[in-house]
Structure 1
């Protein structure tokens, strides 16, 4: 979850990672692998472009910011951040 009233550095470095899966479920005994490297905004866009059935298999890893707890964003957090008015359009 993130704190909506605090600014987010969308240009912060970030990685989009995918968990190995079995029957479309995360295999947490394995390590997620890198899918995309870029800015936080880029990784959010890449995540939201994935098929909806697979979106739960992804996480975004970035440096912690005051606006969110920790440096790992779930797909739900990423979707909420993408709906913010200050989210860059491209």
Structure 2
């Protein structure tokens, strides 16, 4: 049975196109907190899988400053993936290794 994901999550039982184009973006920060009055800037452009790997290679204290922007897929509730959702996706059995 199909389950609708909660906001900020993804549906585990739906395939993900890991080769979809994606951007890793970083929010400007002050005291390691996002400055939401500013616009995030691109730090990496590649595939969704590459962006997830790049994000997870960042220092843990800074990971909350990043988002991944990709094309909307049936498994996602939007086109912006939070660091938490990206980490969950990386743990999927079908996530491409290196």
State whether TM-score is above 0.5.
yes
The aligned counterpart of 2:48 is 40
Q: Which 4+ stretches in 1 moved above 6 angstroms?
A: none
Of 83, 88, 94 in structure 2, the residue corresponding to residue 86 of structure 1 is 94
Partner secondary structure for residue 44 of structure 2 = strand
Of 8, 11, 14 in structure 2, the residue corresponding to residue 3 of structure 1 is 11
User: Once the 2 structures are TM-superposed, how far is the Cα of residue 12 of structure 1 from its aligned partner?
Assistant: 0.1
Gaps of 5+ in 1: none
Measured in 2, the distance between the counterparts of 1:63 and 1:86 equals 19
Q: How does 1:43-54 map to 2 (within 5 A)?
A: 43-54=51-62
User: Once the 2 structures are TM-superposed, how far is the Cα of residue 4 of structure 1 from its aligned partner?
Assistant: 0.2
1:72 aligns with 2:72: no
Partner secondary structure for residue 6 of structure 1 = coil
TM-score when normalising by structure 2: 0.91
CA RMSD of aligned residues (A): 0.2
Gaps of 5+ in 2: 1-8
Partner secondary structure for residue 17 of structure 1 = strand
TM-score when normalising by structure 1: 1.00
